[in-house]
Amino acid sequence: MADGKSSKQLLKYLPYISVLCFLLTWELIVDLNVVPNSLLATPIQVVKLFFYKLTNIQPDGSILIVHIITSLKEALIGYSLALLIGIPLGLAMGWFTLAEGFARPIFELIRPIPPVAWIPLTIFWFGIGITGKAFIIFLSGMVPAVINSMVGVRMTNPTYIRMARTYGAKDWEIFKNICIPSALPMVFGGLQVALAASWTTLVAAELIAADTGLGFLITMGRRLLMPDMILLGMVLIGLTGVIIGIIVDKIEKRLVAGVRR
Amino acid sequence: MSSTKEGLIGLSDSKKTFSFKGLFKNNYFLYALSLICFFLFWELVAVTFGKFLPRPIEVIDRVVYMFGHTLAGKTLLMHLWASLRRVFIGFAIATAIGIPLGLFMGFNKYVHAVVKPIFDLFKPMPPIAWISLAILWFGIGETSKIFIIVIGAVVPVVINSFNGIRLVDPDLYHVVKMLGGNHRDEIIQVSFPASLPAIFAGLQISLSMAWTTVLAAELVGAREGMGFIIIQGMNLSRVDQIIGGMFVIAITAWMISAVMTYLERWICPWKMQLKK
């Protein structure tokens, strides 16, 4: 029994030990010059640079918060556009033959193109500013939003629909009162997928052409041969992604409370 | 799907005689109409804003031209092969690392406790964000591209292998035990077959992830590959080349997923029964 207890204790602390060991190894292989400092920065250097960049615009031209806000703004505009257009379109495509028949082929034509492949075209069309970025994010967020909304409506329990029809409900009433509520959990499932897709694409777009933003920070780090700046950019991208994910998850839980599970 | 849909939407009362309204309820007619409208619209926009959008026919011309003529010393097929080769190498490495790692995480809770937090640390970073570091480490050549493909492709493989093992129905283990099987039987007869569909789904995601990642990597810096073709099109202001490249990319992506679906049916046919 004591053995079982100690193994449980071990399991509880093992994750922390593991992360600590990881950070320590990382710090040590650079400090002991196993990997030269020009190729990899230590965690401490990254943290130092973080505090330095909070107030200093050198060497890349903007303080950290500007980069973060730029990226967030681009992501937010594109993402909300994708939801505003994608969700209603997907819901309609799930229910109305006309909408499905008309939008489906074009959608299927665009769907297999990876969002990243749109980057050169958007840069050519809109330049490197916020319009182009928002457009790419819109495209990458739209596909999962449409698919999930459509599938959500399609998965409505047919019994409900037949019942409503028996009681004389119109097509539009069924759509509004039965299909949409029953599709909501699926729609919100799409939000997370769309978010992950958007965030990845944004980073790619900023890497290729931008003058501010977190992806740009990484590119500058490479150009200036500053591995600490590259790592800082990567960590911030990961962190921001996680935080937005948590926020979307919270909103989702609030809105569909009681529908799911 | 179509039969349930008919019940859903109530098309069963569709008219037998031809009527204009009935035509608008026919999916295939709508599909054709939609595509015609799409290309007409494209043509119209292209004629109006000639510089920013080529006509569809010009795009096709350019693609055909690229098949026969070299661009940066390579024809279109050779560029496509350059991209695909990177994807296959990266995917093979990711599979070789990811499946065993995921399985060990599923079988052994200590391995899980050690690997999972580090894995969670890396997971939220998009694979594309690694690109600068990869270029700094390995230069602009093949190694850096394959490196980030591995990073992008390994995540779904590990997650799905791990979940595949973890979500095996415990009753199946009980059955093996009751029939007198030992631990090895459990693993070989139950764990592997039962988790194979999940693992395979992970491979599917990972392959399409690899395709996206290779494009991104080639966009940032490459001398061959499909990403190179479209970025070259941007630099030369040849929109027909960009769009033509995008279509080739899309067709490839579609073919990759079609092949994987076919393979899935062939390798783990019992998945279909599970779905029902």
pLDDT tens track for B210-226: 998 898 888 887 788 88
Of A15, A115, A231, the CB nearest to B116: A15
pLDDT digits (tens, 9 = 90+) for B201-214: 889 889 988 998 89
Same structural domain, B6 and B94: no
Q: Which of B100, B228, B79 is nearest to B154 (CA)?
A: B100
Contact of B243 with chain A, judged by CB distance below 8 Å, is answered with yes
- What is the residue-wise DSSP string for A44-79? HHHHHHHHHHHH--TTTSS-HHHHHHHHHHHHHHHH
Collect all residues of chain B within an 8 Å Cβ-Cβ radius of residue A6.
Answer: none
Per-residue pLDDT, averaged over A2-6, amounts to 63
B275 CA to centre of own chain: 21
- What is the residue-wise DSSP string for B46-114? HHHTTTT---HHHHHHHHHHHHHS-BTTB-HHHHHHHHHHHHHHHHHHHHHHHHHHHHHHHH-HHHHHH
Q: Which of A118, A158, A252, A218 is nearest to B219 (CA)?
A: A118
One-letter amino acid at A14 equals L
pLDDT digits (tens, 9 = 90+) for B59-69: 888 888 888 77
Same structural domain, B34 and B87: no
Percent of chain B scoring above 70 in pLDDT: 88
Percent of chain A scoring above 70 in pLDDT: 96
Q: Which of A98, A90, A96 is nearest to A183 (CA)?
A: A90
DSSP state of A210: -
Question: pLDDT band at B84, cuts 50/70/90?
Answer: very high
Separation of alpha carbons A14 and B70, rounded Å: 56
Same structural domain, B148 and B217: yes
Domain coverage including residue B10:
2-53
Same structural domain, B35 and B114: no
* Number of domains comprising chain B: 2
Of A22, A101, A121, the CB nearest to B246: A121
Assess whether pLDDT exceeds 70 at residue B245: yes
pLDDT digits (tens, 9 = 90+) for A175-227: 888 888 888 888 888 888 888 888 888 888 888 877 888 888 888 888 888 88
Which value does ipTM take for this structure? 0.79
What does the pLDDT read at residue B90?
Answer: 93
Separation of alpha carbons A83 and A138, rounded Å: 8
Q: Average pLDDT, whole number, for chain B?
A: 82
- What is the residue-wise DSSP string for A94-121? HH-HHHHHHHHHHHHHHTTS-GGGGHHH
**pTM, entire model:** 0.82
Same structural domain, B84 and B43: no
Contact between chains at A101 and B251 (C-beta distance less than 8 A): no
Q: Looking at CA atoms only, how far is residue B241 from chain A in angstroms? A: 10
- The two structure tokens encoding residue B276: 């029902």
Of B10, B32, B53, the residue that ends a domain is B53
Same structural domain, B105 and B37: no
Same structural domain, B177 and B227: yes
What does the pLDDT read at residue B87?
Answer: 92
Same structural domain, B42 and B80: no
Of B53, B70, B95, the residue that ends a domain is B53
Assess whether pLDDT exceeds 70 at residue A154: yes
Same structural domain, B214 and B83: yes
Same structural domain, B175 and B203: yes
CA distance readout (Å), B235 to A7, A116, A120, A168: 60, 17, 9, 60
Same structural domain, B94 and B213: yes
Same structural domain, B21 and B102: no
* Contact by Cβ (8 Å): A67, A217: yes
For residue B52, the tally of other CB atoms under 10 A from its CB is: 13
* Contact by Cβ (8 Å): B157, B229: no
Beta bridge partners of B71: B74
How many Cα atoms occupy the beta-carbon half-sphere of A175 within 13 Å?
Answer: 16
Which domains does chain A carry?
1-40 (no CATH), 43-256 (1.10.3720.10)
Per-residue pLDDT, averaged over B147-172, amounts to 88
